[in-house]
Amino acid sequence: MLYLGVDIGTQGAKAVVFDLKAKRVVARGAKQYGLLTGRPGLAEQDPKDWISGGRSAIQDAVSGLQDEERERICAIGVSGQQHGLVVLDENKEVVRPAKLWCDTESSREAEELGEALGWKLGPAFTGTKVMWLKRNEPENWQRVRHVLMPKDYFNYWLTGEIATEASDQSGSAFFDPVNKTWDERALEFIGLPAAYLPKLVAPIEKVGTIREAVAEALRLPASVVVSPGGGDNACSALAAGAVADGTMVMSLGTSGTLFGYSSKPVLDKTGMICPFCDATGAYLPLVCTLNCTEVPEDVRAMIDEKVTREELTKLASEVPAGCSGVSYIPYLRGERTPNLPGAAGAIVGLRYGMLKNAGLLYRAAIEGVTFSLLAGVNAMKNFGVSDLKELRVVGGGAANALWCQIIASSFGVPVKLIEESETAALGAALQAGAVHGGEGDIARFVSEHGPPTGGTIQPESKDARLYGEAYERHLAVGGRLFG
């Protein structure tokens, strides 16, 4: 049996075909699309671009399959960028472009909603965008009858059914992640009628089967089942095998994220830890830093853009752990974790001649980013999250073996590499497989049928003390500089 996973991302759509027996991706496709911008804080997309992009990605993926193989595709799962606001009218037509997670025009509304609910909320959360729409475009709001997330709109195109699930809605600010139902107090403050919201389904329930017109357009069997899908991080956790307490995923991209399975909810009213649900029926506490792979890249640009990452990594590997007392505070774009939007970057502890040491500066940047994420996992422990036993590392930074070694030794746990780069799409395909197979336990299905991980990097005990001291220094310096 083959399962199709689609990721409706911010930059484009990705699709993978997963072979259950072989436990590997056998085909893939992609299609890029752009953002609608034009004024500070604006970041929107036309939901129709997701449909055309997702359709092209799927067609690209299945084009290399034989007719017999296409007939073996049994189910589709869809992952999507979280928080986006999709509004439809009474005819289920798009009212206006979708405001995305990275749209910050609802910053004032985020403060108002957060104060009313007793939570620290950012403008990413969907409820703040609903408030912005009501306040700034009342004529559009009058037309609204359905409020969806991006992947739910794609599922609607696939099946004609409007439904949603907990992992995506836990990023809305009007969903109760503990009881996994709508938060009536939040809905009342926002002024969002519950009748405008999709029906809630469990991760193991199907949304429906694909419409006949969709099956013909995609050259797929008319019997293909569509699973609920999930938020992109929740689906990535499935692909990485983070389906039990003690296993977390670290994504090293433009931003850094750390998230993982938790059998209990995490409710952090400071907003540092996002109270997300996962795609198995459990929880997915998440921390996000604004500064990640761009930080060592900025060092490389300062030294010489012609110098390769490999060359700098080799130089950095010759520098001792802890960088001889140098701390790089990596808040180049301000920071979200910790919540210091007005902070800046800093290099502290320099001695004569150190500025000429390219390897030291490059390693200090990597260590600084790593320590920011380590602070996040330590914050999770304070909320009762199980002790970390293993990390799964994904994203562009995962290609740097030295960085992965620094992570393993700083966190004191083994680091496993994930070979598949499109983890969100793969996770959606795995969920689709569990739903199609009638599995009552998605976590068990993923553990038994998910793809094998790559190599494992063990922590180096000889460096534990140096990393411990460097981490404490990182916290102290950042605290003295920025509070």
Max CA pair span of the chain:
71
**What is the mean pLDDT of the segment spanning 328-343?**
88
Residue 254 has pLDDT above 90, yes or no: no
Pick from 389, 370, 188, 383: nearest CA to 275: 383
Q: In one letter, which amino acid is 251?
A: S
Domains along the chain with CATH numbers? 2-232 (3.30.420.40), 241-417+453-483 (3.30.420.40)
Residue 483 has pLDDT above 90, yes or no: no
The residue ranking higher by pLDDT, 405 or 334, is 405
pTM for this one?
A: 0.92
Question: Rounded distance, CA 101 to CA 354, Å?
Answer: 40
Burial (CB count <10 Å: 0-12, 13-18, 19+), residue 37: exposed
The tens digit of pLDDT for each residue in 119-134 reads 999 899 999 999 999 9
Burial (CB count <10 Å: 0-12, 13-18, 19+), residue 214: buried
φ/ψ (deg, to 5) at 2: -115, 145
Q: Does residue 320 have a cis bond before it (omega within 30 degrees)?
A: no
The pLDDT of residue 211 is 98
Catalytic annotation present for 245: no
Pick from 475, 473, 453: nearest CA to 465: 473
Chain mean position to CA 109: 23
Q: Which residue has the tokens 């808040």?
A: 331
The pLDDT of residue 338 is 84
Q: How confident is the model at residue 239 (pLDDT cuts 50, 70, 90)?
A: very high
Question: Rounded distance, CA 126 to CA 101, Å?
Answer: 8
- Number of CB atoms found within 10 A of residue 341's CB: 11
The pLDDT of residue 438 is 87
Catalytic residue, chosen from 232, 387, 441, 463, is: 232
Record the tokens describing residue 422, joined without a space: 């499109």
Record the tokens describing residue 450, joined without a space: 């998910």
